[in-house]
Structure 1
Amino acid sequence: MDAQLIAFTGVSAGLVAMPGADFTVVVRNALVSRRAGIACALGIGAGLLVHVTLAVVGVAAVLAAVPALFRALQVVGGVYVLYLGVQTLRQRHTDVADTPEDSTARPLRQGFVTNALNPKASLTFLSVLPQFVPAGAPALPRTLLLALIVLAIAMVWFQVVALLVDRLGRWLRRPRAARAVTLVTGVALTAFGAALLAGPLSAL
């Protein structure tokens, strides 16, 4: 592995592991069950695949060139994350063990939508990926390799988060601890949603 790939791996790991809506929604679902947390993590990976694909084919450049489209996606993403936050806060008095676990479809969808509706991810990839393509090297193969590295890191990281939360579930699912964690995740998701909305709304 060359020095640029090592550097890119470090940068990508930092970007992926940075606490945000993705991290919070995985914790929220992993408190319900290991299966829900893993499904949510897979959904986030699918959302990242959308962003990476957009960056590789250059479609993300359209978001940067058309501010109105970018702001519209920010508003939609912010509203969805805000909705998740409010729903979480409303459930803070519900025993996690009593939460229905009928399928993995819901957490999978939550993970995907939370990540896919964040247009900043596409712009981040669009701005970071080219920095690690050596001058004169074929851009497409290198960019695809970088994209695979990001996806691999994300899949490992969010699976680890889900499994760790599940492993600590014996303590985290106790009524008092569960209410505290649910309150924190609800507030965090609400804050992330509000932050996503603040930018585009202030530009109106």
Structure 2
Amino acid sequence: MDAQLVAFTGVAAGMVAMPGADFTVVVRNALASRRDGVACAVGVAGGLLVHTALAVAGLAALLVAVPALFRAIQLLGGAYILYLGCRALRSAVRRPAPQHENGTEAAAARGTGRSLREGFLTNALNPKAPVLFLSLLPQFVPADQQPLPRTLLLATIVVVLALLWFPAVALLVDGLGGWLRRPGAARAVEGVSGAALAVLGVFLLAGPLVAAR
């Protein structure tokens, strides 16, 4: 058994499951509909595929070597996540939507394409991800193995874990939808997730702005 591969799978699973912007946007989309939640989850996995491909190609090193480029991506990612947070907060303070006969809130479907795009951009524009992959993947490449095939295998593991975890989160949220889509609960989830995204966006924006001074 490849002990390093097992160890990497455990570390990667912890990274993927760690609550953050990806988790938040998947939950928000899953509250709209199961299809939107799963589409958003697939989008997140697509973003991870971009980061792992960059790490494999060595392009992630360019982001570290060129601070201006890295700061630009930080600003872009921070602005997008802040936008998502503000949009969620605005939705939370709106009047509750009409209710179905069973008393649960009628969640407006966002659209599969929009949810897929939102998940992809949230992950792909995360500026810390390429640096994380660049620093993590080489630690699990044995000296007696070719770097490219091994790195491709590690990258594939990360994407597969994301394709398992985030759709599972979407399905779980959808399964609890009868309670979570009640006006009070839905507004609370929307408000908390919006605040979390907004704080994260401000944090991502503040870093490069402070560093530029």
TM-score for both structures, normalised by structure 2 = 0.93
In structure 2, the partner of 1:52 is 52
> C-alpha separation between the residues in 2 aligned to 1:78 and 1:134?
35
> C-alpha separation between the residues in 2 aligned to 1:46 and 1:102?
19
Greater CA drift, 142-151 or 192-201: 192-201
Pairs within 5 Å for 1:9-20: 9-20=9-20
Q: In structure 2, which of residues 169, 177, 182 is the aligned counterpart of residue 174 of structure 1?
A: 182
Note if contact 2:138-2:151 (Cα within 8 Å) is conserved in structure 1. yes
In structure 2, the partner of 1:197 is 205
Note if contact 1:40-1:109 (Cα within 8 Å) is conserved in structure 2. yes
Pairs within 5 Å for 1:144-183: 144-183=152-191
Residues 1:32 and 2:40 aligned together: no
> C-alpha separation between the residues in 1 aligned to 2:86 and 2:35?
23
Note if contact 1:47-1:116 (Cα within 8 Å) is conserved in structure 2. yes
Q: How many residues were matched structurally? A: 204
Residues 1:112 and 2:120 aligned together: yes
Aligned partner of 1:28: which letter? R
Residues 1:2 and 2:2 aligned together: yes
Note if contact 1:89-1:186 (Cα within 8 Å) is conserved in structure 2. yes
> C-alpha separation between the residues in 1 aligned to 2:188 and 2:36?
20
Segments of 5+ residues of structure 1 without an aligned counterpart are: none
Pairs within 5 Å for 1:122-133: 122-133=130-141
> C-alpha separation between the residues in 2 aligned to 1:103 and 1:16?
25
The one-character-per-residue Cα deviations of 1:1-45 (angstroms, maximum 9, x if unpaired) are 410001000110111111110000001100100000000000001
> C-alpha separation between the residues in 2 aligned to 1:34 and 1:171?
15
> C-alpha separation between the residues in 1 aligned to 2:106 and 2:131?
40
Residue aligned with 1:31, SS? helix
Note if contact 1:70-1:119 (Cα within 8 Å) is conserved in structure 2. yes
Q: Which has the larger radius of gyration?
A: 2
Q: In structure 2, which of residues 147, 162, 165 is the aligned counterpart of residue 139 of structure 1?
A: 147
Note if contact 1:133-1:142 (Cα within 8 Å) is conserved in structure 2. yes
Q: Percent identity?
A: 65
- The 1:18–1:138 alpha-carbon spacing in structure 2 relative to 1, beyond 3 Å, is same
TM-score for both structures, normalised by structure 1 = 0.97
Aligned partner of 1:171: which letter? W
The one-character-per-residue Cα deviations of 1:149-176 (angstroms, maximum 9, x if unpaired) are 1011111110111011101100000111
Note if contact 2:38-2:171 (Cα within 8 Å) is conserved in structure 1. yes
- The 1:99–1:174 alpha-carbon spacing in structure 2 relative to 1, beyond 3 Å, is closer
**Root-mean-square deviation (Å):** 1.2
Segments of 5+ residues of structure 2 without an aligned counterpart are: 98-103
